[in-house]
Structure 1
């Protein structure tokens, strides 16, 4: 009786131990599988983060390079413009200096204007020329000796204290005014010259 009880006890113990071992193995196996899955996901996440970091770094680098290239282009364009402005200003100021003050030039301009100016078709000019008061004697004598035909057609000479160089033409009614000064000629020539000078200096 005692032997059978002992055998039964040992059998129950072995079966319980075996089941315990099996359950433990299942738990351990499941834990290992779960741990491997966690590690796998962690590694995948790590790779994703690293890849995104690399991508962001590459984009940042490209953006920085693009900004640098743009800044360099702008700096070069500004430098070219400054050089062109400097040269064109020097060239034009020297080229036109004194031209609007030349009596012969004034007479030629007035002849050209008078030839196309006769609103009432009477042949009269009826134009007023404003000239620097500081040159009144010289210019009046010149026109009386070299441009009497213009004066006879109605051209009137007026001398203005506020005019320091060049001259201005206006109809008798004062409806508009055409200026011929160093500044006007410089601006006109500079606008004409700038694009051509830019191409000449910085041709590709």
Structure 2
């Protein structure tokens, strides 16, 4: 499963059981948790309840049980979705993407990364005392990357989100827009930069 998630640009943190998962949260707060109900020690329902109530982390439950009462128990524990094993990897990816779309920070009105303040109402980027008004596609691209700092976005996902599924252009357009944004960041906020992940896509990082 990790291989499929990594191919889609997700950064994966893996735990062998519920106790280890909670310990890992001390240094890493994920955007979403995929939890198997059948685990040694703490069961998936208990972990789900802790993640959703104490950490406000959305949870996708994996289980071999398909009975209605098991699904009900999962949702009552706080899960956002429920997948019964065996399942196709694509189904898991679709469901993960659906949860993240519902909860995505890119839909927030204001996004803050480093000294960047991105206002989706006015389409302005404020950096200290400077206010930048970017071309629309540059703004949307920056807002998308800033919505999840340090997460790698695949090139295909960026193209779909910013230019649409029916866009007929090539990826050179994306390269050009990234280059222009980098030039602006270098001038106004060198502490934030767009990093190329070779063969995958791009991510926004705070480096200072």
Q: TM-score range by the shorter chain?
A: under 0.3
Structure of higher RCO (CA pairs closer than 8 Å, 6+ residues apart)? 1
TM-score, scaled relative to structure 1? 0.21
Computing the radius of gyration over CA atoms, which structure comes out larger, 1 or 2? 1
TM-score by length of 2: 0.20
Q: Which has the higher strand share?
A: 2
